[in-house]
Amino acid sequence: MIKAAGGGGGKGMRIAWNDQEARDSFRITKQEAASAFGDDRILIEKFIDNPRHIEIQVLSDGKGNTLYLNERECSIQRRNQKVLEEAPSSFLDPQTRKAMGEQACALANTVGYRSAGTCEFLVDPKKNFYFLEMNTRLQVEHPVTEYTTGLDLVELMIRIAAGEKLSMQQKDVPLKGWAMEARVYAEDPVRNFLPSIGTIYKYVEPKSSDGTVRVDSGIREGDEISIHWDPLISKLVTYGKDRKEAIDKLAKALDSYIIRGVNHNVPFLRAVLEHPRYIKGDISTKFIPQEYPEGFKGIQLNPTQTEELVSSAAVLHFVRGSRDATVSGKLASFERPENRELTITVNDKEHNVVVEGAEGYYKVKLDGKVQDVQTRWHPESTIFTAIINSKERTLQLVDTMSMGYQLQHYGTVFNVLVRGRKQAELAKFMPVKQAIDTSKMLQSPMPGKVISVAVQVGDKVNLGQEVLVLEAMKMQNILRASRDCTVKSIKVKKGDNVNVDQILVEFD
């Protein structure tokens, strides 16, 4: 493991599996560390394969009183940066929790630490734990500890800084309920979580009436996400009496979280919450590469989820059409059969649909199977909430298309074609637009800045060879050749700012 000595949050950290990766990673990590932290010193340490990342929150008043406030599980990570956290861990038993907590307190006492801090550990499948580092600050994921202990860490830090002693003992530290935190990033999960930039033109955070949903953010509508800062949009935190309730609340909150203007990782977060391994708590820091070895492509809907999407689209279209029919002077065409008898296409599969009902209660006959849909949705609303076959579901109307809608379901946006039967039949005769051949081009996978160009026109390059280095949001990425070829032209130079999908190099 090659790490920036002054790093944090997973930046400036790479794994080297062979000599060439060690050389490349050492060079890139030093550059990245100097850029992000002003310190290019490097640490080399043993890499522990397939561990869990579990950390202990400590609190020390500098007067001999040091407590551990239980643990946080932070194993769902990409690029060594945390994505989903929870407290407590579903893996630890009381004995291991106590042993890790006492070790963390011993470290804090040995160095005379005073304030809140976190000792991070890697824990192997046999519950052996290895010290990773201590973060001498308040961490991003501290809200899950606040929910499960009932303690305000910021207040306690201020009191300690003012010279006060801790008023509780270790036996007084509670552990109640379960809390989940999702880090919502401006990034594109289908492009290997590469950063996304742009202006946020619509932004609505989820809320709860009982205080069990919390959003810590620093943005608002109209703000710009640029290449110069960390892509974190917010921390979305939920609390429940147990792990299942906390997960369910987080899923519902993600479904109603409106972010427009940049790509974001809500689709990925939502997919993980549906994953059987995550639901069981069977996770490690390798969860993402193990479960998405070819990259994340969006949630793969099962038949029931597909029926929910199609039924929602049908009712949404029906309600919009009913509203349109009330406009004065408009031809009364909505009552014609083709406006109730639809062909709805999702993922290239056509479904025959008939919609009946009114005033919030609808029967959707979908491929011969009846779906009950209850909703008071109004066409002015972005959020479509309905009870479908006795289950509450929340979708988002992202955009309208000429013959359908873009609907967000389980976090992923789907193009849903909604057409009358005759329209669907005639559409088969429409020409299909051919995609541009980009096989001989190296395109920018993200907006960023060119740090270096390693090739020249006429060079012969091999599969996997470095072509250039691109920096975005303080992280450097090596772009490599995807096959053996010859460099035909280079469209950029060192220092250039580039956009996503911009052509950087052409090959013969």
Q: Which residues are catalytic, by number?
A: 133
Is the backbone of residue 445 left (phi > 0), alpha (psi -120 to 50) or beta?
A: alpha
CA distances from 290 to 187, 188, 286, 296 (A): 20, 19, 6, 11
**How many other CB atoms are there within 10 angstroms of residue 26's CB atom?**
15
Residue 233 structure tokens: 């949009």
* Residue carrying the six token digits 């606040």: 146
Q: How many residues does the chain have?
A: 508
CA distances from 94 to 54, 66, 127 (A): 14, 19, 12
Residue 30 structure tokens: 């030093």
**How many other CB atoms are there within 10 angstroms of residue 153's CB atom?**
19
Residue 17 structure tokens: 């599996």
- Which of 51, 40, 53 has its CA nearest to residue 2? 40
Can you tell me the distance from the alpha carbon of 389 to that of 360, in angstroms, rounded to the nearest whole number? 14
Query: 455, 480 in Cβ contact below 8 A?
Result: no
Residue by residue, DSSP assigns 419-450 as EEHHHHHHHTTSPPPPPP--TTEEE-SSSEEE
Q: Is the peptide bond before 289 cis (omega within 30 degrees of 0)?
A: no
3-state class (DSSP) for residue 101: helix
Angle at the Cα of 130 from the Cα atoms of 127 and 133, rounded to 5 degrees: 135
Q: Within the chain, how many helices (H) and strands (E) appear? A: 10, 33
Query: 392, 385 in Cβ contact below 8 A?
Result: yes
Can you tell me the distance from the alpha carbon of 147 to that of 413, in angstroms, rounded to the nearest whole number? 32
Q: Which segments of 242-377 does DSSP mark as H helices, in order?
A: 243-255, 266-274, 276-280, 287-291, 303-325
Query: 62, 114 in Cβ contact below 8 A?
Result: yes
Is the backbone of residue 380 left (phi > 0), alpha (psi -120 to 50) or beta?
A: alpha
> DSSP class of residue 191?
G
CB proximity list for 302: less than 8 A, separation 6 or greater = none
Query: 41, 31 in Cβ contact below 8 A?
Result: no
> Residue 280 is which amino acid?
K
Query: Positive or negative, the Cα torsion across 198, 468, 232, 219?
Result: negative
How far apart are the two ends of the chain, measured CA to CA in Å? 37
Can you tell me the distance from the alpha carbon of 233 to that of 216, in angstroms, rounded to the nearest whole number? 9
